[in-house]
Amino acid sequence: MSGKKTFKTAALMKELMKKNYEDGLSAGKSGIPIAWVTAVSPVEIIYAAGLFPYYPENFGATVAARKVADKLSAVAEARGYAHDLCGYARCGIGDAYASEHPVGEIIKPDLLLCCNTQCGSLPKWFEVAGRFYKAPYFLLDAPQIGAEPEELVTNYFLEQLKELIVFLEEVTGKSFDYDRLGEVLYYSNEACRLWNEVLDTAAQRPAPFGFFDACFHMFPIVTMRGTKEAVAYYQVLKDEVEERIKEKNYAIPNERYKIYFDHIPLWPKLRWFSDLFASHDALVAVSQYTHSWAYSFDRTRPLESLAEQYTREFVNRFFNYRIELKLKLMRKYNVDGFVLFSNRSCKPTAIGLYDKRNIINNLTGIPGVVFEADMSDLRFFSEEQILAKLDPFFEQLKFSVKK
Amino acid sequence: MGLNTEVLKYFNKVTEDPGQEARRWKEETGGKVLGFLLTDVPEELIHAAGFLPFGIYGGEKGMSLADAHLQNWTCSYVRSCLALSLGGRLDFLDGLVIPQRCDATRMVMGIWNNQKPLSFMNNFRPPRQVERPSAKRYYLGELKRFKKELEEYRGLKIADDELKKSIQLYNSNRTLLLKLFDLHRQDSSLLSSRELYNIIRASMIIPREKLKGLLIRLLDTLNYKSPQKTDQKIKIFISGTFLEPLEIADYIEESGGTIVGDDLKNGFRYINGNIPEEGDLLQNLAEGQLRKIPSASFDNSINPRRNFLVNAVQEKRADGFLLLHLKYCEPENFDYYDIQQVLKKAGIPVQKIETEFGDTSLGQLRTRVQAFLEMLGGVELV
Ligand code: SF4
Ligand code: SF4
């Protein structure tokens, strides 16, 4: 549908992903402990302690993108894990028990570090996995930040980071390397900076880069944040995006509208969605999801800075903050409409979307719509129902007057 | 059915229309009522501030009112609570406290506040890890914050002796409720399973001073006919989040069973755990919470839930284990498989049954419960 050439960087990405998986496998063999971690967790500590971080959520997304979520999920469901649980968790648990591994086996943990800023599914999944793999489990607990003073939560988190470091020192038998932490934070900062510079190009009209591109290129920022390789990757990507601007090679052929999108994409239908929006000349330009990785750590006070930034992520925030964040991003990218995906896998991002739609709509007058599906499970996907929501939305876009 | 005493009738009346006690109390005292979602809320602090803590234990009717706000795959307990509020059935509330134990409770406050704002709306955020030193320090901080916000709302500090009195009152109510539980366990003809769990519900909404009097009176009447025999019934342990609907207790009894223990939010978890009355009271409250029986939201590795349950079943000499799976309750669902495995290994018969607030397919539920009880050697019903 879209006429643009694929990114040259795409090939590099495939290599990077493959290498990362292989590194994980060989780390296990050479005695480097594998630590399961969650997407919004201070992975910098894990790198600095010399462990190999592995992201089971990424495994879930891969399973989903390869359209085999139902197969792995069925294995978990046969054991009583209901289909309403987060799809990533279901597939992860399913893979543990499965005899066939359609996307390669999940890498087994030597320890599990879960940060619960994102949701309540991850800690439960990691508890189950900890029992299954007989590996120690550490919960970095982050109470949600609302209107209360934040210090209580950041101090609690900071104290836990110190507990985590002691825990890791016991596991590795080595004392924690703060110099190495400083280096890792530098790479995280650099990767985040470059990533966000790339994301920002979506604000140009027309734009060389959009949300669906971001979904493709986000693997390193999520799972390799803190490494040199991630920084190098985003430098190459940024160069390519700049080249595209010069060449007038845009994300979609005729960009007329910009759209804000919540939240995770429907992985098995990424292509379908990107074509659908492009066919209506609408560029999905921004999402709180892809914009979640925007850290800038203060290396002079590393632990404090980690505690502040990870607990203050929107995933750990209250209703009003999330509305403000959406509004801020919508303004920054000057969007013409917003589409909110009520993802039954992901309760924390989906619950409240109907009220948020109404509130944002009242405040901005911009058309917005909520649709129902699941990020990984096609059993809950109905093209008909989604089009019944999106078609009128695209109509509205045409008639809504641009401010 | 147990003795149909006056007090039991009264408890029934209270739970038939949960708002009436609160309304009457407001009229009489001019006080404020703070609703809370179940459980793990430091009610003692709310009570010490002079407010009436009102446990919103959900309801069956009018669930569709929540449809426009909460997707139908959201936990039905939370859906039913919001629906009660939207339907005007909680209009006597002045405030709302939501303990965060899962994503549903973490996210519903914003919707509620948007639809039915009250003058005091507060999330309460217990720690989810309960073993490391940081948990206790944080919990103490959260209690202080909550206390301060109650004080600001009240316009007056909560004095130490006010808190002490509230803790004493709550301790005696908990002790009385636990006695009732024991009595029921020994002889369910004195107090049936349904009556017991109905009293626990009522205990969340009746003004606590009055509750104490009622519980003492009830115990007096029942003790009068002190248990003569040990129950020959099939002993069932129930686990999950809620005993809902209450009819489940009837189905167990009509099939020759009785409930001897549970780990439910509207059961043992609510009535267990007295707080020391001397020393630093906030600290005592914090420690009390961290020592609570394990649940899906607050599991720990020192006393893992699975082992706790096996021990509880053995201690109560239960014949069977009924796992009540409240549909769409995420944290609980992650525990079931491992719990079942551990129970089976211990030779305890276990059955999982799906329940839901507002679900009317009672017939099915009854058949399932009956089938399990029959398997355990219960009465065969025609
Ligand atoms: S519930 Fe949402 S945030 Fe949590 S693991 Fe699943 S998709 Fe991610
Ligand atoms: S029943 Fe489960 S999902 Fe519902 S509020 Fe309680 S813990 Fe959360």
Q: DSSP labels for A127-156?
A: HHHHHHHT--EEEE--PPBSSS-SHHHHHH
Q: Are B184 and B314 in the same domain?
A: no
Give the residue from B73, B76, B326 with the most A CB atoms within 10 Å of its CB, the best one to mutate.
B73
Q: DSSP labels for A95-107?
A: HHH-S--TT-PPP
- Digit-coded pLDDT (tens) for A277-291: 999 999 999 999 999
Q: Provide the whole-model pTM.
A: 0.96
Place of tokens 């990507």: A237
DSSP code of B269?
H
- Digit-coded pLDDT (tens) for B194-208: 999 999 999 999 999
Choose one of B231, B264, B284: the last residue of a domain: B231
Q: Is residue B21 a part of any domain in this protein?
A: no
pLDDT of residue B228: 60
pLDDT of residue B1: 44
Q: Is residue B27 a part of any domain in this protein?
A: no
- Cis link prior to B39 (omega < 30° from 0)? yes
Choose one of B212, B231, B250: the last residue of a domain: B231
Measured between CB atoms, which of A320, A347, A372 is closest to B107?
A347
pLDDT of residue B116: 97
Q: Cα distance from A119 to chain B (closest Cα, Å)?
A: 6
Measured between CB atoms, which of A127, A148, A355 is closest to B114?
A355
Percent of chain B surpassing pLDDT 70: 96
Q: Are B371 and B247 in the same domain?
A: yes
pLDDT of residue B4: 61
Q: Are B106 and B206 in the same domain?
A: no
**Do the chains contact at A80 and B103, CB–CB below 8 Å?**
no
Q: Are B151 and B250 in the same domain?
A: no
Q: Are B106 and B43 in the same domain?
A: yes
C-alpha B110 to ligand 2 mean position (Å): 17
Q: Quick one: pLDDT band at residue A403, thresholds 50, 70, 90?
A: very low
Nearest atom in ligand 2 to B265's CA: 6
**How much is the average pLDDT of B261-282?**
96
pLDDT at residue A3 tops 60: no
pLDDT at residue B380 tops 60: no
Q: Is residue B22 a part of any domain in this protein?
A: no
Q: Is residue B376 a part of any domain in this protein?
A: yes
Q: Is residue B122 a part of any domain in this protein?
A: yes
Percent of chain B surpassing pLDDT 90: 87
> B329 CB less than 6 Å from ligand 2?
yes
Q: Is B133 on the interface with A (CB under 8 A)?
A: yes
The closest alpha carbon to A375, from A271, A268, A223, belongs to A268
- Digit-coded pLDDT (tens) for A244-255: 999 999 999 999
**How much is the average pLDDT of A96-124?**
95
Q: Which residue in chain B has the smallest CA separation from A319?
A: B110
pLDDT of residue B226: 59
Choose one of B208, B231, B254: the last residue of a domain: B231
Q: Is residue B60 a part of any domain in this protein?
A: yes
- Which ligand has the shortest distance to the CA of B331? 2
Q: Which residues of B touch A318 (CB under 8 A)?
A: 109-110, 123
Which of B295, B330, B357 for a ligand 2 pocket mutation test, highest count of atoms within 8 Å of Cβ? B330
Q: Are B303 and B224 in the same domain?
A: no
pLDDT of residue A1: 36
pLDDT of residue B381: 54
- Digit-coded pLDDT (tens) for A187-203: 999 999 999 999 999 99
**Do the chains contact at B132 and A125, CB–CB below 8 Å?**
no
Judge whether B97 and B46 are in contact, CB under 8 Å.
Answer: yes
CA separation for the pair B126, B276 (Å, rounded): 19
* Domain membership of residue B40 as a residue range: 32-157
CA separation for the pair A46, A140 (Å, rounded): 13
Q: Are B82 and B174 in the same domain?
A: no
pLDDT of residue B301: 76
Q: Which residues of A touch B137 (CB under 8 A)?
A: 156, 159
* Domain membership of residue A26 as a residue range: 1-403
Percent of chain A surpassing pLDDT 90: 94
Q: Is residue B26 a part of any domain in this protein?
A: no
Q: Is B328 on the interface with A (CB under 8 A)?
A: yes
Q: Quick one: pLDDT band at residue B222, thresholds 50, 70, 90?
A: confident
What is chain A's mean pLDDT, rounded? 94
**How much is the average pLDDT of B356-362?**
85
**Do the chains contact at B334 and A131, CB–CB below 8 Å?**
no
pLDDT at residue B3 tops 60: no
Give the residue from A38, A113, A303, A355 with the most B CB atoms within 10 Å of its CB, the best one to mutate.
A355
Q: Are B312 and B299 in the same domain?
A: yes
- Which ligand has the shortest distance to the CA of A120? 1
Number of domains in chain B: 3
Q: Are B247 and B342 in the same domain?
A: yes
Q: Which residues of A touch B110 (CB under 8 A)?
A: 318-320, 322, 352, 355
DSSP code of B157?
P
Q: Which residue in chain A has the smallest CA separation from B102?
A: A120
Q: Is residue B209 a part of any domain in this protein?
A: yes
- Digit-coded pLDDT (tens) for B306-321: 999 999 999 999 999 9
pLDDT at residue B229 tops 90: no
What is chain B's mean pLDDT, rounded? 93
Ligand 1 neighbours (beta carbon < 6 A): A 57, 86, 88, 118-119, 121-122, 264, 345-346
Angle between helices B193-202 and B160-186 (to 10 degrees): 170
Q: Quick one: pLDDT band at residue B300, thresholds 50, 70, 90?
A: confident
Q: Which residues of B touch A354 (CB under 8 A)?
A: 68-69, 71
The closest alpha carbon to B297, from B330, B271, B337, belongs to B330
Which of A55, A119, A315 for a ligand 1 pocket mutation test, highest count of atoms within 8 Å of Cβ? A119
Number of domains in chain A: 1
CA separation for the pair A90, A95 (Å, rounded): 8
Q: Which residues of B touch A347 (CB under 8 A)?
A: 74, 103-104, 107, 330
pLDDT at residue B2 tops 60: no
Measured between CB atoms, which of B70, B132, B333 is closest to A81?
B333
**Do the chains contact at A84 and B137, CB–CB below 8 Å?**
no
pLDDT at residue B7 tops 80: yes
Q: Are B245 and B381 in the same domain?
A: yes
Q: Which residues of B touch A159 (CB under 8 A)?
A: 133-134, 137-138
pLDDT of residue A402: 53
pLDDT of residue A294: 93
Dihedral sign for Cα atoms in the order A357, A362, A364, A366: positive
Q: Quick one: pLDDT band at residue B230, thresholds 50, 70, 90?
A: low
pLDDT of residue A265: 94
Range in A286-290, B58-62, B81-85, B205-209 the model is least confident about: B58-62
Residue with the nearest Cα to atom 2 of ligand 1?
A: A346
Q: Counting Cβ atoms within 10 Å, is residue B117 exposed (0-12), middle (13-18) or buried (19+)?
A: exposed
**How much is the average pLDDT of A373-383?**
95
pLDDT of residue A39: 95
